[in-house]
Homo-oligomer: A and B are copies of this chain.
Amino acid sequence: MSNATINHQFKLAARPNGNVKASDWSHTNEPLRAPVEGEVVIQVLYLSLDPAMRGWMTDKPSYIPPVGINEVMRAIAVGKVTASKNPKFAIGDHVTGLLGVQEYAYSNGQGLTKVDPKLAPLPLYLSTLGMPGMTGYFGLLEVGQPKAGDTVVVSGAAGAVGSVVGQIAKIKGARVVGIAGGADKCRYLVEELGFDAAIDYKTENVAEALKTHCPNGVNVYFDNVGGDILDAVLTRLARGARVVICGAISQYNNTTPVKGPANYLALLVQRATMTGIVVSDYYDRAGEAAMVMAGWIQSGKLKTREDVVDGLDAFPQAFDMLFSGANNGKLVLKVA
């Protein structure tokens, strides 16, 4: 490893219009260099593939600036320090942060967090103990605020965020209904994760299925997908419902404007509220969440599944899986 001299990277070659094409990426390489004063070099071991990355490729106002053209694509990863001129990091330390889609990353240490590979397998720091887990934890508990007996619905339920949301809602005593694509995912939600019901949006009428599974309405809806599914759930809100807007994966590849929720006046009829969440607002409390969730994982209350794809070269194809729903569990790219 330490003998590597070349760093392979994926850079953003063009701003995609609709679905991301192979030509929107450039596969580049450059010589590795030694760290300058204060810097560390990190070998990337596992890359996190997240729907939010699609938003980072678009040049419009958002919660962070977009990735620039010819810049290494932004991605969260875990890696191992291979060289260090920063007193806070030693060779061999494992760290997580925005390391990018590449084999080696340089960092001044800002935004890097050490992780312990003995406490949990490294991919877990990209899923339940990482950004998706924090998103689910704080989005559900701080914004959704489920109470025992509430009905909680989550879309993208078999994904990295959704599966955490549903399981935490169960831990809090709610009735949980997941919406996911495909019989396998739905079976996983009910049989392995203990959801009360699952709706397969690819074969079922979601509005009708919600009537069946949420006879008293929906108290909390955690939305990862937007579009028609958001509209369907809005028609089933209970009085005083909380809708958590976490993402809108159905809309990210649109070439037409985003489909706004036509049924948003349900917020008025039901005195309900719709609130956006960005996980970075809660990073100062990440330690608290990780401790609680690690406890749930150990006691078997919180299960986690990673879908690991092998090799940096597979990045473009693996990225597409996020939008076709081909992944089962948190999608992770094994780089080294």
Contact = CB atoms under 8 A, between A and B. Distances in A.
Contacts of A268: 63, 245-247, 276-278
A264 interface: yes
Among A247, A260, A270, the most chain B Cβ lie within 10 Å of the Cβ of: A260
Contacts of A62: 269
22 contacts: A61-B269, A226-B265, A245-B268, A246-B268, A251-B265, A258-B262, A258-B263, A258-B265, A259-B260, A259-B262, A260-B261, A261-B261, A267-B276, A268-B276, A268-B277, A269-B278, A272-B276, A273-B273, A273-B275, A273-B276, A274-B274, A274-B275
A334 B197 CA distance: 56
Contacts of A278: 268-269, 271
A281 interface: yes
Interface in A211-242: 226, 231
Contacts of A231: 260
A142 B296 CA distance: 37
Interface of A: 61-63, 226, 231, 245-248, 251, 257-278, 281
A163 B175 CA distance: 43
A66 to B, nearest CB: 13
A251 B247 CA distance: 26
